[in-house]
Each structure stands twice: as C-alpha cells, then as structure tokens.
C-alpha cells in the first residue's frame, strides 16, 4: 500500500488519475501559526481556487500570521468538507459596553487593539482524528488522539482520546473502545512509528487487531 507523506495529492484512482480535492495539508499550508503532521489530509468538494490554493485561510479563516495562538494538528488526521477551526483571534473584546471592534477600522488604533489579544489559547488536534463534514472547532479546544467529531458538530470543549462526539454543542456519544484498549492504543502511539512498521501494521489497524499491533511494537523495540 502506497504511503508517501511528500505527495500533495495522496489519492490516486485505479486509472492513474489523482483526486484533486484531497490534499496532504502540510504540503499545501505555509503559515507560521499552523503546524500539521504527516499524512493528515483534507478533502473538500470545493477546494481553494488557483493560483494560491489557500488551505490555511479555508480551514482557519481568522488565524493571521503573527497571532498569539496556534493551530496544531497531528498525524494521520482526516478532515472532511466544510470543517472550520475558529481560532481565538476571532473573539471580540467583551469588557466594554459593546463588542463592536471600533479600533479595527482606524489605522492609528488597530495595532494597539491587536496587541491586547495576547496569550490566546492554542487549538490542538491529536493524531488519527476524524473530523466529519461541516465540523466546527471553537477556540482553545483540544481534541485527543483517535477521536471522531460527528458531521456538523460544534465542538466547544475538550474531547477525550478515542471518543465520539456529535451535536451542537458537541456531546459525548460513546467511547470507541473499552478504557483498557484506549490506554493501550495511547501507549502504542502507532502514528509515530517508522513508516515501514506502519505499513506492516495496516492490516492490524484495519481489523482492530490490537494484539497484532502490540506484537509489531515489540518487534520494533
């Protein structure tokens, strides 16, 4: 099975044509406030247009270069059409009598307004996270490894590893596995293995064969 983190377009059909709507995000995003791990892809029915193909602006439209917060996404994540990360710079000041950002519209005051937004929380997505169609991740949320975010979910709070959440606001639907299995998977952290061992582990991963996965981990120790 082909796994190449350097490819922009990871999906090639049987006739040899590529799927242009799916990209490895760290191949197409160059943004100082965004970090994306290998093999994490986004698939969008309406991808950002040429010539810039600005996936950073598509996914995190309020995160400007030099902001005090970051968007960090792990390895092997799967991001569906319409997903948005609303990072902390999108917030308005709420300590006055209005939330209208008057200083933004005056060149003499905009820099001072921006400087007031310091120490903002990062948004952090773990490894092997599936964010379904139209998922909305709000500022400062941390999503654990192996979590699934249901289609249309509005995630306002942290999501535990290997849990499924859905709804608005997103709520726990169920853990994906028993707690002992979750703890074992987190210890194994297969997404950090060398690529050859990950290739060997693909059948175990697809068949939920944790014993085989543990054996592969031991073989590579």
Which residues are the active-site residues?
92
> What are the b/e assignments for 147-183, b being 16+ CB within 10 Å?
bbbbeebbbeeebebbbbbbeeebeeeebbbeeeebe
Cα–Cα dist 116/177, whole Å: 43
The 3 state secondary structure assigned to 132-166 is CCCCEECCCCEECCCCEECCCCEECCCECCCEEEE
Cα–Cα dist 162/128, whole Å: 9
Q: What is the helix (H) or strand (E) element at residue 36, kind and residue range?
A: strand 34-36
H-helix segments, the chain: 25-28, 55-59, 110-115, 179-188, 195-206, 210-219
The contacts of residue 145 (CB under 8 Å, 6+ apart) are: 74, 126, 127, 128, 129, 161, 162, 185, 186, 189, 191
Which tokens sit at 66? 């030099």
Are the beta carbons of 35 and 59 closer than 8 angstroms?
Answer: no
């Amino acid at each position: 099975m082909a796994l190449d983190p350097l490819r922009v377009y990871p999906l090639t059909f049987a006739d040899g044509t590529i799927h242009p709507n799916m990209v490895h995000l760290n191949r197409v995003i160059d943004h100082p406030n965004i970090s994306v791990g290998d093999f994490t892809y986004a698939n969008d029915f309406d991808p950002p247009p040429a010539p810039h193909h600005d996936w950073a602006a598509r996914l995190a439209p309020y995160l400007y270069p030099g902001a005090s917060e970051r968007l960090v996404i792990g390895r092997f994540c799967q991001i569906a059409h319409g997903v948005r990360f609303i990072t902390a710079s999108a917030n308005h000041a709420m300590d006055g009598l209005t939330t209208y950002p008057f200083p933004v519209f005056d060149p003499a005051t905009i820099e001072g307004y921006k400087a007031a937004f310091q120490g903002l929380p990062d948004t952090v997505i773990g490894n092997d996270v599936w964010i379904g169609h139209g998922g909305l991740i709000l500022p400062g949320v941390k999503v654990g490894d192996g979590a699934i975010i249901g289609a249309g979910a509005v995630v306002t709070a942290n999501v535990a590893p290997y849990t499924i959440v859905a709804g608005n606001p997103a709520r726990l639907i169920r853990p994906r596995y028993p707690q002992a299995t979750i703890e074992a998977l987190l210890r194994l952290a297969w997404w950090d293995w060398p690529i050859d061992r990950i290739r060997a582990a693909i059948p175990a991963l697809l068949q939920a064969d944790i014993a085989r996965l543990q054996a592969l981990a031991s073989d590579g120790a």
